[in-house]
A and B are shown apart, each in its own frame.
Chain A
Amino acid sequence: QSVLTQPPSMSGAPGQRVTISCTGSSSNIGAGYDVHWYQQLPGTAPKLLIYGNTNRPSGVPDRFSGSKSGTSASLAITGLQAEDEADYYCQSFDSSVSVSGVVFGGGTKLTVL
Chain B
Amino acid sequence: QVQLQESGPGLMKPSETLSLTCAVSGGSINTYYWTWVRQPPGKGLEWIGHIDYSGSTKYNPSLKSRVTMSVDMSKTQFSLKLRSATAADTAVYYCARNAGFLDVWGQGTTVTVSS
- Which residues of A sit under 8 angstroms from B102, Cβ to Cβ? 36, 38, 46, 48, 91
Q: Is the CB of B61 within 8 A of A101?
A: yes
Does any Cβ of A come within 8 Å of B30's Cβ? no
- Which residues of A sit under 8 angstroms from B59, Cβ to Cβ? 101
Alpha-carbon gap, A52 to B105, bound state (A): 18
Count of A interface residues, CB-CB < 8 Å = 24
Q: Is the CB of B106 within 8 A of A45?
A: yes
Q: What is the minimal beta-carbon distance from B91 to any residue of chain A, in angstroms? A: 13
Count of B interface residues, CB-CB < 8 Å = 22
Q: What is the minimal beta-carbon distance from B48 to any residue of chain A, in angstroms? A: 9
Q: Is the CB of B100 within 8 A of A46?
A: no
Q: What is the minimal beta-carbon distance from B23 to any residue of chain A, in angstroms? A: 15
Summed over the interface, the residue pairs from A and B with CB atoms below 8 Å come to a total of 56
The listed residue (B45, B47, B101) touching A101 by CB distance below 8 A is: B47
Kindly specify which of A11-19, A71-79, A104-112 makes contact with the partner chain: A104-112
Does any Cβ of B come within 8 Å of A82's Cβ? no
Q: Encode contact with B along A43-61: 1 for CB under 8 Å, 0 otherwise.
A: 0111110011000010000
Does any Cβ of B come within 8 Å of A26's Cβ? no
Does any Cβ of B come within 8 Å of A102's Cβ? yes
Residue positions of B touching A, CB distance < 8 A: 35, 37, 44-47, 49-50, 58-61, 94, 98, 100-103, 105-108
Given A46-B45, A48-B102, A102-B35, 15 more A-B residue pairs with CB atoms under 8 Å apart are A2-B44, A34-B101, A36-B101, A44-B107, A45-B106, A46-B94, A46-B105, A48-B101, A51-B100, A52-B101, A98-B61, A101-B60, A106-B44, A107-B44, A107-B45
